[in-house]
C-alpha cells in the first residue's frame, strides 16, 4: 500500500522576523493544507529549509507537525543527511514521534558511489520500521541515484517503498518503472512533470506549488487518477508559467516570497538564502495573478 496517492506538499518552515521557527504560523499552514485537499505533509525537506535548522529545531518541527496533523493525512519527515549516522539518528527520532514515513535525500557533497548509496540507504532503512521514500535530486546533491540502484534497494530492503524523482529525466523515470515495477512508488519531484510521471505509473507529486495552490495541485493528480487525463493535462499546462517563476531563483526563495505576497507572513529565509530579487518578485506576482491565486482570506 502506498504511503499516499495524490499531492503531498513540501511545506515551508515559517520564521519570525527575528529568525526563529514560527510554530503558530506553521499550525495555520498545516490546517490550510488539510482544508484544501492536500494528501500528505512533507515536513523538513529542502523547501522547509532543513539544511539550516539545528538538529533540535529539525526534530521539534517534525514532532509539532505530527502532533497537529493528528493522523488526518500522512506526515512524511525529511530526515536525510550526508552523514549516515546523523540520518539514522533523525530517522529513529521521527519514528518515535509517529511519522508515517521518511524522506531521505541522497547524501550531498560527499558524492557517494552507487555502492555507497546502497549501503547508506540500507543502514538508515534498517534502523526503523516505517516506510522510506528516497529523494533523487542530482542538481542539489551532485549524485544521481541510478535506476538500477533504486531497483536493487526496492527488491532487497522491504521498507524502501518509493522515490521522489527530481532528476528531470523522463527516460530515467521510465527505466525506474521498468526495473522496479510495483515494488517502488514513484512521485514527481518537479511540479512541471506531474502528468508525465503519472503516465508512467507514478502515484503523485511532492510539490512546492502546493504551498500556494494546494487544491489545484491535488486536482492535477486526482483528475488523472479518475480517468480525466485531458482535464489533468489542462491544469498541468495552465500551471507551467507559475511553476517556472517558482523556480526562477533557488527553492525555497520564490515560494516563500509568494506566501508573503499572499499575506501569510511566513517571515524571512535563513542565510545563506537571500530575499528574492525585486524584478523576479514582480514576475512571480504577475504569474500568480494570471493563475488566479487569491490572497489569504479572499474567496
Please identify every residue annotated as catalytic.
Answer: 135, 164
Q: CA 44, CA 46: separation in Å to the nearest integer? A: 7
State the Rg of the chain over Cα.
Answer: 18
Three-state SS for the chain is: CCCCCEEEEECCCCECCCCCECHHHHHHHHHHHHHCCCCEEEECCCCCCHHHCCHHHHHHHHHHHHHHHCCCCCEEEECCCCCHHHHHHHHHHHHHHCCCEEEEECCCCCCCCHHHHHHHHHHHHHCCCCCEEEEECHHHHCCCCCHHHHHHHHHHCCCEEEEEECCCCHHHHHHHHHHHHHHCEEEECCHHHHHHHHHCCCCEEEECHHHCCHHHHHHHHHHHHCCCHHHHHHHHHHHHHHHHHHCCCCCCHHHHHHHHHCCCCCCCCCCCCCCCCHHHHHHHHHHHHHHCCCCCCCC
Does residue 174 have a cis peptide bond before it, meaning omega lies within 30 degrees of 0? no
Amino acid at each position: 500500500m502506498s504511503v499516499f496517492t495524490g499531492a503531498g506538499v513540501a511545506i515551508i518552515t515559517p520564521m519570525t522576523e527575528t529568525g526563529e521557527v514560527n510554530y503558530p504560523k506553521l499550525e495555520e499552514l498545516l490546517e490550510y493544507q488539510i482544508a484544501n485537499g492536500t494528501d500528505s505533509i512533507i515536513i523538513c525537506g529542502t523547501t522547509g529549509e532543513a539544511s539550516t535548522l539545528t538538529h533540535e529545531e529539525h526534530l521539534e518541527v517534525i514532532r509539532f507537525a505530527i502532533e497537529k496533523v493528528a493522523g488526518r493525512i500522512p506526515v512524511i519527515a525529511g530526515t536525510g543527511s550526508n552523514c549516515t549516522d546523523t540520518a539514522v539518528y533523525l530517522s529513529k527520532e521521527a519514528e518515535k514521534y509517529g511519522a508515517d514515513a521518511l524522506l531521505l535525500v541522497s547524501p550531498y557533497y560527499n558524492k557517494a558511489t552507487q555502492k555507497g548509496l546502497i549501503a547508506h540507504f540500507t543502514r538508515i532503512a534498517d534502523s526503523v520500521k516505517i516506510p522510506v521514500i528516497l529523494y533523487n535530486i542530482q542538481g542539489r546533491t551532485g549524485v544521481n541515484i541510478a535506476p538500477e540502484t533504486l531497483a536493487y534497494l526496492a527488491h532487497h530492503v522491504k521498507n524502501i517503498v518509493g522515490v521522489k524523482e527530481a532528476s528531470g529525466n523522463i527516460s530515467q523515470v521510465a527505466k525506474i518503472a521498468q526495473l522496479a515495477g510495483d515494488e517502488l512508488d514513484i512521485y514527481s519531484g518537479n511540479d512541471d512533470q506531474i502528468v508525465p510521471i503519472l503516465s508512467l505509473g507514478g502515484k503523485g507529486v511532492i510539490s512546492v506549488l502546493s504551498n500556494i495552490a494546494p487544491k489545484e495541485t491535488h486536482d492535477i493528480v486526482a483528475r488523472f487518477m479518475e480517468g480525466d487525463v485531458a482535464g489533468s493535462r489542462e491544469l498541468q499546462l495552465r500551471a507551467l508559467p507559475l511553476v517556472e517563476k517558482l523556480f526562477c531563483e533557488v527553492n525555497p526563495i520564490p515560494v516563500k516570497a509568494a506566501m508573503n505576497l499572499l499575506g501569510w507572513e511566513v517571515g524571512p529565509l535563513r542565510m545563506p538564502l537571500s530575499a528574492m530579487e525585486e524584478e523576479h518578485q514582480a514576475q512571480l506576482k504577475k504569474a500568480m495573478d494570471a493563475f488566479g491565486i487569491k490572497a489569504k482570506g479572499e474567496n
